[in-house]
Structure 1
Amino acid sequence: MLQAESALGPAGPYPDIAVEAPLRALIGEVGRRSGEFPVYLANHLPMVLEAMARLGATTSRLEEFAEHYIGTHAVPFPPLAVAPVNEASWLSALGDRARETDLRNFFETVVGRIGREAAVRQYLPTLAPGVAASATHGLMRLAYALLRSDDTEVAASLGYWAATYLAYEGVPADRERAVTDPLEYLVDMRSEPSLYGLNAPTHLLWKWIEAMGKVPEFHQRLGRMAAGPDFLDLIRPAALSLYAGTMSFEALHAVTGCHWLRLVSPYVDEPQYLVMHFWEVVFALYTKIDMPLPPTKDLMEAWRSLPLPDDQAIASAAVASNDEHDHSLVFSAFEEYRYTGDRLYKVAAAKRLRLIE
């Protein structure tokens, strides 16, 4: 793919070179807290601190935001350990939030023994079907941990993913995988009347994802995609078009998720299967936003031509925000722009921050 340059420059990960050491210490401190805060909401703090620093935040801004975030959300420490798990027993704790500490401890031992890259390669095939964990934020935390080459955060993210594991069960292994166009297959859901007007069990994305797995007409659509090695390259523009057309909270996670998948993929032998499970989560989120048609190619081209603030202005607006989804979206959009050269990522970032209409 094209490696487009950002006006923020390729000189290093942090525009403020003084931020690296205090950032590492700050993430180490906040990373000891749980992966979620009440009630079952994803703790973005370790990840967005990294994103903010790479967008140009100063040490004082990072410390200020961390204090604000922990105070506002009452981010707790993980629950007390229940009982140790090992290689033979860790699967018994899968999907049990009460076992977050036990699972973190297990993966700390694993990473310490075989290293972070080998740990991800060994355990992610088991965790991949449950990528909906904490509304895909287990994936987010792992992606940022790998971006930072942070052993402690890799172990914490694997434990968090395992404790919040959420998979679609009961999909027959022998279903024919013949679907090759992920966007076309997504839009085809519009033809099923039973997928309209569904009631959300709560405001939580992961509860909606979980509930969709119990809808027969939805479940019938699972396990049918032919996921080749280029599957991430197929869903990336589909996710961007969905977000550009809706600017919705749900579609935002499809865009950022493609960035996280790109960061994690080099550490997985067959990453297309992780990507496939992620796109099935997007199926569920599509029903939550009432399954709109994607924007036309002409409309997207018109958006790509919109005048934009410079990169520094977009980055500064994101850093100044107290909304973790602003930091997440803008950083991922900049990184996906650098990878693809698609200016629509910057347009989406500027729109998210209300810098353009």
Structure 2
Amino acid sequence: MFDGSTARISALRAGRCAAAGPERAAARAEADRLIAATRLQSGEFPVMLANHLPMVLEALCRLGAPAARLAAYAEHYDRVHAVPLLAPRIAPLGRADWRAALGDRRREADLRDFFLTEAQRLGGFGAIRIYVPELVQGVAASALHGLMRLAYGVLRGDDAEIGAALGYWATTYLPLRDEPAGPPETDDPAALALMMRAEPAFQDFSFDAHLLWHWIAKTGRMDAFAPLIGRLRFGPETLDRVTATSAALYASTMSFEALHAVTGSHWVRIVTPYLDDPLPLLRHFWAAILALYPKIGMPLPATVDELAALRALTPPDDLDIAAAAIASDDEHDHSLVFSALQEFRRTGDPLYRVLAARRVQLM
């Protein structure tokens, strides 16, 4: 299980699985082996749910899970979710014709092959620079989990995972309507949520679907939604504002949907340094999050006073929070805790430690 050794503390604080010592080396090797094995699998399991396994194995490793726990979790995940192997290939795709297969789940193996080849040819980071600008409008793919896999591939510096992620993103590509009605009106991402609350088309809006990406598609293709994202002025500070708004929304709701805003903001931050222009990715990411907002009843984010009260709390130690996540079988515990602790390390904001502790029932 999880101990408090100096090496393990250092690994957690650094957000990596490769601290010195034979136990950590064994965990790193096991994570690499298991993640490589997931590339034989589909990016989704029935019915069109995201296969989190390659990403959460990396998160678990970086949180300090030993090799035995990684192996046990992979076995559990495959057994419980019946994760299928990639479907048979249909026909090879090349640089001239891959776009014709965008969003076609039948072509997953073909798109995976194409992007693995491109990641090998260009290097993973080179493939991101070339292809993410073409994929960015469909970042809602599989409820943002193509972006998630790409971010974890970047963390690993793993060309094969980057190629698999780009293939997954392309396979599940999900563009939303984006038709600005006029010049930007605000610098505040939260203002767009308030605009949605005031829009009659979103009042008492409901949709009989469980999958997040079905909700994103339904809302994101409404006439009333189309001009919304154009009202936000994007600039160098927008990612920080989106990140803060995401945390405030999660603090007020602790909802599954708002969790994806917090973790997704972290994934955007990981990927954008490898793009010539990071703003389109941020723009389409925030549109996808807004498309989920009606699903949770469009609650207000936590207020300044409410956030201050949360920051004044004393959560358990990071090691205890990480240990609780490692012991959990819920992939969203691993994802949220890892992203939240990384955001705490980046910002020093104690809110992230409180949110992580709450997610794993320690507060």
Q: Scaled by the length of structure 2, what TM-score is found?
A: 0.93
User: Residue 13 in 1 paired to residue 17 in 2?
Assistant: yes
**Shift of the alpha carbon at 1:219?**
2.2
Aligned residue number for residue 325 of structure 2: 318
Aligned residue number for residue 306 of structure 1: 313
Partners of 1:160 and 1:8 lie apart in 2 by 29
CA contact (8 A) 2:139 2:174 kept: yes
**Equivalent of 1:102 in 74, 91, 110:** 110
Aligned residue number for residue 53 of structure 1: 61
Count of residues in correspondence between the two structures: 351
Aligned residue number for residue 230 of structure 1: 237
Superposed CA offset, 1:275-321 (max 9, x none): 11100111111111111111211111111111211111100000000
Aligned residue number for residue 63 of structure 1: 71
CA contact (8 A) 1:227 1:273 kept: no
Partners of 2:319 and 2:161 lie apart in 1 by 29
SS of the aligned residue for 1:146 comes to helix
Partners of 2:15 and 2:54 lie apart in 1 by 23
CA contact (8 A) 2:118 2:127 kept: yes
Superposed CA offset, 1:243-285 (max 9, x none): 0110000000000001101110111111111011100111111
Partners of 2:248 and 2:25 lie apart in 1 by 35
Partners of 1:175 and 1:274 lie apart in 2 by 20
CA contact (8 A) 1:6 1:338 kept: no
Partners of 1:27 and 1:300 lie apart in 2 by 37
Residues 111, 216 of structure 1: alpha-carbon distance in 2 compared, 3 angstrom cutoff: same
Aligned residue number for residue 342 of structure 2: 335
Which amino acid letter does the alignment assign opposite residue 351 of structure 2?
A: L
Aligned residue number for residue 214 of structure 1: 221
Which amino acid letter does the alignment assign opposite residue 278 of structure 2?
A: P
Residues 141, 301 of structure 1: alpha-carbon distance in 2 compared, 3 angstrom cutoff: same
Partners of 1:18 and 1:63 lie apart in 2 by 11
User: Residue 280 in 1 paired to residue 284 in 2?
Assistant: no
CA contact (8 A) 1:34 1:77 kept: yes
> Where does 1:341-356 land on structure 2 (aligned, <5 Å)?
341-356=348-363
Q: Scaled by the length of structure 1, what TM-score is found?
A: 0.94
CA contact (8 A) 1:7 1:311 kept: no
Unaligned runs of 5+ in 2: 1-8
CA contact (8 A) 2:124 2:162 kept: yes
**Shift of the alpha carbon at 1:11?**
8.7
**Shift of the alpha carbon at 1:176?**
2.4
> Where does 1:66-215 land on structure 2 (aligned, <5 Å)?
66-169=74-177, 171-172=178-179, 175-215=182-222
Partners of 1:283 and 1:11 lie apart in 2 by 29
CA contact (8 A) 2:115 2:163 kept: yes
Aligned residue number for residue 5 of structure 2: none
Task: Name the % identity.
Answer: 52
Which amino acid letter does the alignment assign opposite residue 14 of structure 2?
A: P
Partners of 1:113 and 1:75 lie apart in 2 by 29
Aligned residue number for residue 48 of structure 2: 40
CA contact (8 A) 1:132 1:166 kept: yes
Partners of 2:36 and 2:85 lie apart in 1 by 13
Partners of 2:92 and 2:204 lie apart in 1 by 44
Which amino acid letter does the alignment assign opposite residue 13 of structure 1?
A: C
CA contact (8 A) 1:94 1:164 kept: yes
Unaligned runs of 5+ in 1: none
Partners of 1:335 and 1:124 lie apart in 2 by 24
CA contact (8 A) 1:7 1:312 kept: no
Superposed CA offset, 1:107-147 (max 9, x none): 11111211111110000001111010000000000000010
Residues 57, 11 of structure 1: alpha-carbon distance in 2 compared, 3 angstrom cutoff: closer
Residues 147, 88 of structure 1: alpha-carbon distance in 2 compared, 3 angstrom cutoff: same
Partners of 2:213 and 2:10 lie apart in 1 by 33
**Shift of the alpha carbon at 1:214?**
3.0
Partners of 1:7 and 1:88 lie apart in 2 by 44
RMSD of aligned residue pairs (Cα, Å): 1.7
Which amino acid letter does the alignment assign opposite residue 319 of structure 2?
A: Q
Which amino acid letter does the alignment assign opposite residue 10 of structure 1?
A: A
SS of the aligned residue for 2:84 comes to coil
The structure 1 segments of at least 4 consecutive aligned residues displaced by more than 6 Å after TM superposition are none
CA contact (8 A) 1:22 1:59 kept: yes
Superposed CA offset, 1:38-94 (max 9, x none): 000000000000000111101000000000000100000122111111111010000
Which amino acid letter does the alignment assign opposite residue 102 of structure 1?
A: D
